[in-house]
Structure 1
Amino acid sequence: MSKIQVNKLHSLTGHNDCIYALTEGSDPRYFYTGAGDGMVVEWDLDNPKDGKLIAKLPHSVYSLAIDHQRNYLIIGHNFEGIHVIDLNENKEIWSLKMTEFAIFHITVVGDQILVGDGDGVLTIVDISSRAVKKHIKLSSKSIRVMDVAVEKMHLALGLSDHSVKILDLAEDFKPIANLKSHTNSVFALRYSPDESYLVSGSRDAHLKFWKTDPYELEEDVVAHMYAINFLDFREDGQLLVTCSMDKSIKIWSPEERKLLKVIDKARNAGHGTSVNKVIWSSYSNDIISISDDRTISIWNLGLEQEI
């Protein structure tokens, strides 16, 4: 594996509260952030210093998702439901009141918006009719994170009841597996690009690697000092990034299940408080991170010669 050199390209400011939500746009040159200040901001990786305000809402924004087919931005607005922004028109086109609880994660599958909330309910919204199709009560505890295996048509959900639940999207959300190994809330979840395994991260600071055919635990790694808040794969699946309440970002070899690099305040002028989300840009191949310190960082990983 190459030796990794970390270069901090940018530290972006503009939010007035902790930044909780982060997603890449349909055009991956752009990414979007949402924060406790209710602001949703668009950032341009070609000109990252100037953020563009997309929406200003009265409550915190914990979740954002992109409908790639229509170029919509879905905003999870705590205690009010979802707001849908047409990014082509730069305006809100509809909203839907659906829950009194915090919305922690949203994902879009085909013509449906899947919304996970603090009451353990998965709400399925039909985009064309702009209406709720179904509520699925999965737990008495929060749904914190979701990911979709597109080829398998599997939906993985991480919950605050410490479980990872797998549902079959092709069979009307029929349960496939209920994975129990974590000892605290599951905040981070991602299928590998080839869908051969699933990685989960938890408030218990452990990373767990699950094979997906069938779903079985392969490896358990003590990965951080405190809660793992989010994780993402590089597009080619060769590297994995995690972020944590311990203020650090870590780069892993998912094949070897091995730590390759730590990005933190002491070594790299990293974040000063909890790092809440990370994405691996498919546009620039850089890592984008957001934090309770109200800043967004963009990191370039220079890879030295293969050894």
Structure 2
Amino acid sequence: MATQIVKLRVWDIDYLDTEDEEPEAKRPRVETMSDEEEEEEEMNILKCKKIGSVMRKGRHRVVSMATDETGSVLACHGTDHILEVFSLPSTEELRKHLAKRQKRLNKKLKDEDAEVKADLKLEDEISHANNVKLSAKISSFDIILEGPAQTKVLALLNNNTIESCCVNQRDKNGEITNSQKLMMAGHRTDVRTICTSSDNTAILSGSGETVKIWNRSTLQCIRTMECDYALCSLFAPGDRIVIVGTKGGKLQLFDVASGVLLETIESHTSAVWGICMAPDKRGVVTGSADKTVKFWNFEMVSDEKYSDSSKRLSLEHVKTLQMDEDVLGVKYSPDQRYIAVALLDNTVKVFFTDTLKFFLSMYGHKLPVLCLDISSDSSLLITGSADRNVKIWGMDFGDCHKSIFAHDDSIMCLQFVAKTHLFFTGGKDGKIKQWDADNFEHITTLTAHHAEVWSLTVSSAGHFMVSGSHDKSLRLWERSKEPLVLEEEREMEREAEYEDSVAQSGEPVVAGETNIEVGLAGKKSIETVKGAEKIMEALELYKEETLKLEQHEEECKQKGKELPPPTPHPMLLAHNVSSPARFMLVMLKKVRSSELEESLLVLPFSYVIDMLKVLEVFIDSGWEIELSCRCLFFLLRVHHGQITSNQVLLPVIDRLRTKTVDQVNKLRDQIGFNIAGLQFMKGHIEESQEVQFFMDASGQYNKKKKREKKKAILSIKT
């Protein structure tokens, strides 16, 4: 097993002098250096020399380092909670330290005649002060020196918390003072359970470490209570107490007003995956991975810790229903006649509530059923499974009305809207979808979460919905008054699917898999298709406007007088251009350079013919020669066979052959003239202001190094 490097390496930097130049006459004549030797010469103006290493206390790789503004403190951290602080004494402090060391050394050697000069060690210049342990792993930090030995640390932790503290460099224990944290009110881990109060004013959310109560109207967190890993939850009658089922098999009762844990009940021996309140509000039922379904009644008990005069709510175990498989969810029917249990064996079993006798078994899923719900009229049951299907069942006979492929990954939560047969589903694909259980139609898709949706709840009146996700966020969705047209939703979905298919249809060119030396660098996307459509529309307008101008010239010739010009197209006026050719050039320049080839590749060949004629106009007029030649050469390379076999295009290609060479030569001459002018201006500036540009200084330094190397070679040969 490889060991991590636990030391900091220290380097000394020397800036090299490049002013010393050797006269031309004194340069020795040696053979020209090979290309390999010239490549070894580095264009550097500084020199780094390793002077030692400083040992660290941490055992992880260094992620980042920083110093304060004065350069008196150095700090670094790895992939853990520890921030290591080092002291960097000033020059005056080092001088005093060296004087004390020399004094001690002279005192020690006073009887001897030899004189020994004391030296500073690396440990004197960089000394380890202490280690600071923060509350979570460090993402980044900054430090400020507030006093002679007091350092203030501001760190961003990986749980989205900003922590500030003060560190005494002389305290070797690494104790921190004035520790403060700035954090948002949200969760630090996945939001696994959500429920609403009976009056829909409060929202409960539970995660791996806390349960939070939120005010729906202000969106503010009003209570935060530490708990075990929460998997399910509900508000008890009266909304004063919440019940949370945990991964360890416990039921935890919290008081909302005080935010205090009232009681922890060892209800199950494994994770509590489901909890549901009885419709008569007299108790709850829980389902666990220990293969049991337990029924609990509410009771009032005296608790001195809670109150001396009043009683609080508690749970009393009434009966247990033993199952053959792990229970993944439980649900009462609203009429309280049945209780449905989702099992690990991919089935849902329905029992009578009063006698617990078996009533129905619903099977058809290929993977375990993760969530279920029953409509408010107790006529339909819906199940969501890890096989990505939602099944709609009839409660009378247990027949499957419809199986819908709902999500691209496992369905983690679902719930009916009260007094309707509409329901919402949430899956690991990060989407929330609304469905109609009567018509088996998909209504809409909500895509705001960035990760798996673990839980959702719909208000009792159906006015809003809350969802929780692996992205540690809660999303509040409110029902709008705008009408929703299913045809428009389907059209938007088809457009999104088309964009995805277009983006995935083109594969990037892989080296060695094409017959040409250079291939297209990108994929075909919706942007390249839009670019091709833009070029085709511009070509159509160009042809129409050009034909209109030609007809106007013929009429002027026939009548022998100047006629008023035709009214230009509104697009020409909008782009403030005077001719169709100029408009065509503007539209071509609007296509992104990275998408130009792909857009031209999509063009049909009939448009390629018109495009070549337009490019001839551009090149003949001297407009954007580089862009025009790029388009021309690409079209010739792609459609070479069809162009050479087309008799109409042969004279066009012949004219382009000469015009392109002439225009490119003119452009090359112009660029060369500009470069020569810039070099002349550069020499004039250097001569008048007596300065040298950096690249020239580096080049002179490299020449100096080469001359020194040649001298060494000559001295060896002689």
TM-score range, shorter-chain basis?
0.7 to 0.9
Task: Please state how far the C-alpha of 1:138 moved relative to its aligned partner.
Answer: 1.1
Aligned to 2:452: 274
Distance in 2 (CA, whole Å) between partners of 1:301 and 1:53 is 26
Q: Which runs of structure 2 are paired with 1:16-55 in the superposition (5 Å)? A: 16-36=188-208, 38-48=209-219, 50-55=220-225
Task: Please state how far the C-alpha of 1:277 moved relative to its aligned partner.
Answer: 1.2
Q: Which runs of structure 2 are paired with 1:124-203 in the superposition (5 Å)? A: 124-128=295-299, 130-141=315-326, 143-171=327-355, 173-203=356-386
Letter in 2 for 1:177: L
Structure that is richer in strand per residue = 1
Whether the 8 Å contact between 1:39 and 1:53 is mirrored in structure 2 is no
Whether the 8 Å contact between 1:250 and 1:263 is mirrored in structure 2 is yes
Task: Please state how far the C-alpha of 1:160 moved relative to its aligned partner.
Answer: 1.9
Whether the 8 Å contact between 1:286 and 1:298 is mirrored in structure 2 is yes
Q: Which runs of structure 2 are paired with 1:193-232 in the superposition (5 Å)? A: 193-232=376-415
Runs of 5+ unmatched residues, structure 1: 1-11, 265-269
Aligned to 1:251: 434
Cα deviations by residue, 1:139-189 (Å, 9 ceiling, x for unpaired): 232x22222112152111212221111111122x22211211111111121
**Secondary structure of the structure 1 residue equivalent to 2:456:** strand
Letter in 1 for 2:190: C
CA pair 122-186 structure 1, distance change in 2 beyond 3 A? same
Distance in 2 (CA, whole Å) between partners of 1:115 and 1:293 is 27
**Pairing 1:117–2:288 present:** yes
CA pair 179-15 structure 1, distance change in 2 beyond 3 A? same
Task: Please state how far the C-alpha of 1:131 moved relative to its aligned partner.
Answer: 3.5
CA pair 140-157 structure 1, distance change in 2 beyond 3 A? closer
Distance in 2 (CA, whole Å) between partners of 1:17 and 1:29 is 24
Cα deviations by residue, 1:102-142 (Å, 9 ceiling, x for unpaired): 1111112243321111122112223227433333221232x
Aligned to 2:417: 234
Task: Please state how far the C-alpha of 1:242 moved relative to its aligned partner.
Answer: 0.6
Aligned to 1:291: 469
CA pair 221-99 structure 1, distance change in 2 beyond 3 A? same
Letter in 2 for 1:61: A
CA pair 100-45 structure 1, distance change in 2 beyond 3 A? same
Whether the 8 Å contact between 2:413 and 2:426 is mirrored in structure 1 is yes
**Secondary structure of the structure 1 residue equivalent to 2:354:** helix
Cα deviations by residue, 1:57-89 (Å, 9 ceiling, x for unpaired): 2x3101102222574311112215111224356
Cα deviations by residue, 1:177-209 (Å, 9 ceiling, x for unpaired): 121111111112111121111111111111111
Cα deviations by residue, 1:248-290 (Å, 9 ceiling, x for unpaired): 00011222110011111xxxxx111100111122367122110
Task: Please state how far the C-alpha of 1:224 moved relative to its aligned partner.
Answer: 0.9
Cα deviations by residue, 1:206-251 (Å, 9 ceiling, x for unpaired): 1111111122211111111111111112223152111001110001
RMSD over equivalenced CA pairs, Å: 2.1
Distance in 2 (CA, whole Å) between partners of 1:238 and 1:186 is 20
Q: So what's the TM-score if we normalise by structure 1? A: 0.86
**Secondary structure of the structure 2 residue equivalent to 1:115:** strand
Q: So what's the TM-score if we normalise by structure 2? A: 0.38
Distance in 1 (CA, whole Å) between partners of 2:483 and 2:316 is 53
CA pair 70-43 structure 1, distance change in 2 beyond 3 A? closer
CA pair 303-256 structure 1, distance change in 2 beyond 3 A? farther
Whether the 8 Å contact between 2:370 and 2:386 is mirrored in structure 1 is yes
Cα deviations by residue, 1:13-37 (Å, 9 ceiling, x for unpaired): 610001101111122111101001x
Task: Please state how far the C-alpha of 1:54 moved relative to its aligned partner.
Answer: 4.3
CA pair 214-69 structure 1, distance change in 2 beyond 3 A? farther
Distance in 2 (CA, whole Å) between partners of 1:44 and 1:300 is 15
CA pair 26-179 structure 1, distance change in 2 beyond 3 A? same
User: Structure 1 vs Structure 2: percent identity of aligned residues?
Assistant: 20
**Secondary structure of the structure 1 residue equivalent to 2:480:** strand
Letter in 1 for 2:384: G
Runs of 5+ unmatched residues, structure 2: 1-183, 300-313, 486-718
